[in-house]
Amino acid sequence: VLKLFKLLHRTRQEVFKNDNKALEAARQKINEEFKNNRDEKSEEKINELLKIASDVEVILRTSVIQAVHTDSDKIVLVPRKDLLQDNTPYLDKPTKK
């Protein structure tokens, strides 16, 4: 449980880097969820909560991208290196093998 708690906080720090408002909101939410379920005794429920927390960490790490307002009508996306992937070009007609 503690390992997952720490992993969520490390992921939060990387995903929301330089965004103090998002960093604080994510910190509060992570701490609140773990605190609310601190006294859980059911092994089944604990495993379910750990699965949810693990899924949240994966989604944060792989799907969340920062956007910064640079002008009143412009937004700049700030992708992390681990989100960038090689793009496969689209072909109208499949190539024959």
pTM, to two decimals: 0.73
- pLDDT confidence band for 6 (50 / 70 / 90): very high
**What would the mean pLDDT of 34-45 be, rounded to a whole number?**
92
pLDDT of residue 13: 93
Give the whole-angstrom CA distance, residue 94 versus residue 8: 42
What pLDDT, in 10s, does the model give residues 48-68?
A: 999 999 999 999 988 888 888
26, burial (CB in 10 Å: exposed 0-12, middle 13-18, buried 19+):
buried
Give the whole-angstrom CA distance, residue 69 versus residue 63: 19
pLDDT of residue 61: 87
Residue 79, pLDDT > 90, answer no
- pLDDT confidence band for 97 (50 / 70 / 90): low
Q: Confirm if 82 and 94 have CB atoms less than 8 A apart.
A: no
Give the whole-angstrom CA distance, residue 30 versus residue 14: 15
Beta pairing partners, 77:
67
pLDDT of residue 28: 96
* Tokens encoding 92: 């109208």
Q: Confirm if 67 and 75 have CB atoms less than 8 A apart.
A: yes
